[in-house]
Structure 1
Amino acid sequence: MEYILVTIILFISIVVYFKIADKYNIIDKPNHRSAHTQITLRGGGIIYPIAFIVFCLFNLTEAIDNYGSFGLGLLAICTVSFIDDVKTLSNRIRLSIHLISVVLLLYFTGAFVLMPFWVWPILFILIIGTLNAYNFMDGINGMTGAYSLVTLSSILYINKNVIPFTDENFILYPILACMVFLFFNFRKKAKCFAGDVGSMGIGFWVIGLITLLIMRTGEYKFILLLSIYGMEVVLTIIERILLKENIFEAHRRHLYQLFANEKKVSHLIISSVYTFFQFIVNIFLINSQFPIWVIISLIFIPLGGLYLGLKWSLKKQYNL
């Protein structure tokens, strides 16, 4: 009954937000790098910080005792991201809030106690890089919601069947938020886009869960629950460096962008394929007992080869 009520609250919340976004013209206008052609409401990803607030209301004592620092970090990064969706902020402000949020996240996961001092800067770079990867990959209908849903479902399975590491509701609430968001976003003509508030919000929540899992188990292989995103972003950055492009400028070089913009493949098909491949990786990852270097090789060599082959083929076909 609790989850039905939560789902209803989330539905009502996002519908109310649509009315607010429509009134105040919070929209996403297509530009030269967009994979869409219609003006669409932006910021539907506000459902994720709302889901955390609802989680706190339904689990008040638990939230106060265990999730305070995480919640402050999530709400901080979502607030600055939402403001950036409405009115562009300076990089200095955004980066400052991101750093504060990551500090709160690492405190929440116990990383400052469990990891040596020299590892902390590496964790900062990895987490901020992964957050930005989540943002880079949020470019077509269904991608952020579907990919996050399969990752969260895998984390839920690990928590229930492999090793319990957190409150089950802390995983179920973002899953419900993903389902509600996908109802409006996983469409040929999406009702809304996630916006920075969505990609950063759910990215922060997923990264928090994975970091917590790694700290509890000592198994670094679980970072590969985001391996498809990671491979896409890293290989695209390497490509842009080789082409002597400014990696901080907007572009259309991601493989999913080539399929959507040049090949005109349905956004929903592309998002489903990316999600499917991550799902297969997760099944292998959860059940594998190989050393981490073997797991990395078995995942990235075939998938990296497939990725590079597809991108080379598309670039040759369309003279890119």
Structure 2
Amino acid sequence: MSYTSLISYFILFIVLELVYFKIADRFNIIDKPNHRSSHTRVTIRGGGVIFPLSVLAYAILHGFENVYFVIGLMAISTISFLDDILTLNNKIRLGIHLTSVLLLFFQWDLFSISWYWILAALIFVIATINAYNFMDGINGITGGYSLLTIITLYYINEKVTRFTSSELLLVVGLALLVFNFFNFRTKAKCFAGDVGSVSIAFIIVFFIGELILTTQNLSYILLLLVYGTDTAFTVLFRKIRRENIFEAHRSHFYQYLSNQLGYAHILVSCIYISAQLLINILLLRIAVTDILSACCLLALCIAFYLFIRFKLEGFKKLLTPNAS
């Protein structure tokens, strides 16, 4: 992709984001702080709309490559945007989500393989989308973490193995740069909203799925290890405490760091991004070609996460029902 094209995309995404800010301000699409929020200011919600729009712009200019993926992305993004504004029926929302995932599976040509791999893929996709939605709670974390993932995928595509379009990766990366300019700051201009967290999760899942199917290497799931670990163990701890895991909460470790310990949002986001960066480096250097090394990396990271979390929060708070 030429520098002129990159600059053109970048300018387009800035313009689209600024236009959206005007629309959001006009129609009062804002996020007001509540008891489970990690922020204290009224802020524009839905700034992550730039993510699906970036893919749509690329698709229009390139003859709608990966058409099933694009249709699925636009469907899940639209329903998520409406969910940001309105209170939608859960059956409708879940129906659109499932339809989008099935379209993604058609894009991957997944229905030609054994049913248990399809089930595993369904769990992976749904879990990743939910994890992204859960983790989108402080400034910079969604945009920064996703940008790191896209950069890593671009490196793999260029230096390790070709599995997708480098141009599309660059376009998504530019959209993330624009979003981060407005979100990765102490006082964010906008939040991603459901439309942002769900759509970027869908996009990243598409790329990682392409990578795994091309290489037949499941180790690349570790590119999402930090988000996966925090989400999985937070749900587990809530289940142990006999809490309703479907209710809104502030139980994630990143929320404890920012809310209880008072760490700045940007600092917590940088901690999470740096941890995933280290994992990505180790994965590409020593673990990607050796399943045993990948398993050791997984076990080591989980053990370190649990040690730090129990050290800071304590066993009682994490494991005891109604503990303060």
Q: TM-score when scaled to structure 2?
A: 0.93
Question: CA offset at residue 102 of structure 1?
Answer: 0.6
| Residue among 236, 242, 245 paired with 1:244 | 242
Residue of structure 2 equivalent to 1:198: 196
Please give the residue correspondences for 1:1-320 in structure 2 after superposition, counting only pairs within 5 Å: 1-60=4-63, 63=64, 66-113=65-112, 115-289=113-287, 291-301=290-300, 303-316=301-314, 320=324
Question: CA offset at residue 305 of structure 1?
Answer: 2.7
**2-side partners of 1:299 and 1:132: how far apart?**
20
Q: Is the 8 A contact 1:134 1:199 kept in 2?
A: yes
Q: What do residues 171-199 of structure 1 show as CA deviations (whole Å, max 9, x unaligned)?
A: 11110010000000001010000000000
Question: CA offset at residue 291 of structure 1?
Answer: 3.0
2:108 maps to a residue whose letter is T
- The gaps in structure 2 that reach 5 residues or longer are 318-322
Per the alignment, in what secondary structure is the counterpart of residue 221 of structure 2?
A: helix
- The gaps in structure 1 that reach 5 residues or longer are none
Per the alignment, in what secondary structure is the counterpart of residue 288 of structure 1?
A: helix
Question: CA offset at residue 107 of structure 1?
Answer: 1.2
Question: CA offset at residue 224 of structure 1?
Answer: 0.8
Identity across matched positions, percent: 44
**2-side partners of 1:298 and 1:125: how far apart?**
22
1:43 maps to a residue whose letter is G
Q: What do residues 60-111 of structure 1 show as CA deviations (whole Å, max 9, x unaligned)?
A: 3xx2xx3110000000000000000001212211111111111111111222
Question: CA offset at residue 213 of structure 1?
Answer: 0.7
1:164 maps to a residue whose letter is R
Q: Is the 8 A contact 2:286 2:293 kept in 1?
A: no
Question: CA offset at residue 50 of structure 1?
Answer: 1.0
Per the alignment, in what secondary structure is the counterpart of residue 239 of structure 1?
A: helix
**1-side partners of 2:291 and 2:7: how far apart?**
39
**2-side partners of 1:298 and 1:253: how far apart?**
25
2:248 maps to a residue whose letter is A
Per the alignment, in what secondary structure is the counterpart of residue 242 of structure 2?
A: coil
Question: CA offset at residue 58 of structure 1?
Answer: 2.8
Question: CA offset at residue 121 of structure 1?
Answer: 2.1
Question: CA offset at residue 53 of structure 1?
Answer: 1.7
Name which of structure 1's ranges 47-56 and 144-153 shifts more when overlaid on structure 2.
Answer: 47-56
Question: CA offset at residue 311 of structure 1?
Answer: 2.3
Aligned length: 314
